[in-house]
Structure 1
Amino acid sequence: MSDEYTPRWSGEGEVRHVVLSSGNRIRYLVTGSGAPLLLMHTLRTQLDYFQRLIPLLAERFTVYAVDLPGMGWSDIRPQAVYDEPSVRRDMLDFIDRLSLKNLVLAGESMGATLALSIAAQRGEGIRSVVAVNTYDYPQGVERANALASFVVKGMRIPGVGKVISSIENEQVLSGILGGGFYDRRKLPSDFVSELIRSGKRCGYPTVETSYFRSLPSFMAARVLYGRISVPVTLVYGDHDWSKPSERESVKKLIRGSNIRILPNTGHFASLENPDEVAGAIFSTP
């Protein structure tokens, strides 16, 4: 069952689904009360990535956390496209279908880049953006460790990538994700097990390799940042994969943005340092 794991941590949250104009059926969680906030997760994870952050945010926001198209327990469709413009269109459609107004956009890694590109395309109805460890620079996860570099490079090779994805196990995935933590003990083992479970669905290797091959389109989304007119907070772990110069270059592209650096924190900040991430979101205008 797709919803076995999420209820263990989400309390009174409700798992729902919506079919978008693209035909993609998206799983999402809604919980809390207050102004709406949309959370978008990292590459190769799902809405459960925010399991330590959502309970904090639900005290002040109505939180909507999505499984991005094809990922987690969102449906897998043959011939679906997973480049940044396509995923952005789906998320804009999601916002419209749920009639979300005065919306705070928050995302991490790939989800952070989506939050910024969505705000760039549609300022109206967007209140502010909190972008955590944006994924908009070369190499990205390849900087995590030697294992990640080997696997990610292989994922991009046609034919080979699907084989690598299909034999992915908890040990390999833990090794890759662990390279995104300052303290890898903060990576929940049951979460890794859940990622492997959702990743065993028919067609998932195609989804995973398509996202990896589409990463250049997320880097290309930087050209949109100059259009953003709403308040933006850029949050980076001090041990994120990005270089300080890359963070500053993003800040320069977004007028009026500010940077917040989280101590003793890697790329997966919402799992490693949820209190600080929540604080950054609570501080947004």
Structure 2
Amino acid sequence: MTLWTDLAGVDYEIRYEQVGPWRTRVLERGHGPALVFLHGTGGHLEAFARNLRALGDRFRVVAYDLPGHGWSTLTGRDLEIADYQEHLLGLLDALRIPAAHLSGESLGGWVAAKFAAAHPERVSSLILNTPGGTMADPAVMERIRSLSQAAADDPSYERIRTRLEWLMADPASVTGELVAIRQSVYAQPGFPDSMRHLLCLQDPQIRRRNLLTDAELDAITAPTLVIWTTDDPSGPPSEGEALAGKINGAQFRLIKDAGHWPQWEQRAVFDALVIDFVTRNTS
């Protein structure tokens, strides 16, 4: 299922790629340098539906459902960052992408940063969009856990909308279409159990052993852009600035009037930043 309003009249392909044990839902649009999008916890590739039109005109855009998420294979075990890294490596191989520009949001940014440190030869540039992996705020972690699991256990319109509104600066940014997409994902048989395993990273002990280290950040050699927002519920802009300061040569940009999904709420600003950054870092 896709966000037809934002993709109306746009050429794209949705298919499944087998990556190890994971039947992975993948959306592709466009040609040129590969730009791969990674979504956040409990999310799905439609998080980037509003960006595919502009970005797919310039790049080979790939968005996919992470393991245990969306319409990819659900999980019966806890997934930590190393699991997502391994899957991303396998996906790039399956798609015959030797090196990609990676753009990760929240959990996706956490995975992308770890991946860039471990596999520098596979990353052309790195865009960290309100990324996770540097903070362990108990209140934020509990809020993510409670809202996400409640929505998975009872994918009613109200609970799904409440979870999505947490992501936004303006609750009106949550469309009925987006709610319907997530309802269909969360209503899958077995999804509540999969969500419990996905939320393991909200457990303080598990989170601590997965956090980005200063050594990993120092090992990132790809040109990096850190994007934060004025209304991110996960942390203040100073967190993004501090992160950028630990990555050699990283740039920091603040997007106003957006929450955890600037690519959704401020698509034109986000798209312009990405187009400029990727273009400048394409050889």
Instruction: Place the TM-score, normalised by the shorter chain, in its bin.
Output: 0.7 to 0.9
Aligned length: 269
Equivalent residue number for residue 142 of structure 1: 140
Contact 2:26 2:64 in 1 (8 A): yes
Equivalent residue number for residue 45 of structure 2: 47
Cα deviation 1:107-140 (Å, max 9, x = unaligned) = 1111111111111111113110111101221238
Q: Which residues of 2 match residues 257-272 of structure 1 at below 5 A? A: 257-272=250-265
In 1, distance between residues paired with 2:28 and 2:14?
Answer: 7
Equivalent residue number for residue 229 of structure 1: 221
Equivalent residue number for residue 169 of structure 1: 156
In 1, distance between residues paired with 2:30 and 2:114?
Answer: 26
The alpha carbon displacement at 1:253 in A equals: 2.1
In 1, distance between residues paired with 2:11 and 2:167?
Answer: 30
CA RMSD of aligned residues (A): 2.2
Are 2:189 and 1:211 aligned?
Answer: no
Distance 1:153 1:184, change over 3 A: closer
In 1, distance between residues paired with 2:147 and 2:182?
Answer: 19
Equivalent residue number for residue 241 of structure 2: 248
Unaligned runs of 5+ in 2: none
Are 2:187 and 1:200 aligned?
Answer: yes
In 1, distance between residues paired with 2:76 and 2:230?
Answer: 39
SS at match of 2:34: strand
Output the TM-score relative to the length of structure 1: 0.87
In 1, distance between residues paired with 2:147 and 2:52?
Answer: 34
The alpha carbon displacement at 1:6 in A equals: 5.0
Are 2:66 and 1:68 aligned?
Answer: yes
Contact 2:76 2:197 in 1 (8 A): no
Are 2:120 and 1:123 aligned?
Answer: yes
| 1:128 alignment partner AA | S
In 2, distance between residues paired with 1:194 and 1:92?
Answer: 27
In 2, distance between residues paired with 1:218 and 1:95?
Answer: 26
Output the TM-score relative to the length of structure 2: 0.87
SS at match of 1:105: strand
Contact 2:129 2:228 in 1 (8 A): yes
| 1:20 alignment partner AA | V
| 2:153 alignment partner AA | S
| 1:46 alignment partner AA | H
Equivalent residue number for residue 99 of structure 1: 96
SS at match of 2:68: coil
Are 2:170 and 1:180 aligned?
Answer: no
Equivalent residue number for residue 158 of structure 1: none
Cα deviation 1:128-159 (Å, max 9, x = unaligned) = 0111101221238838xxxx82x72487xxxx
Distance 1:141 1:283, change over 3 A: farther
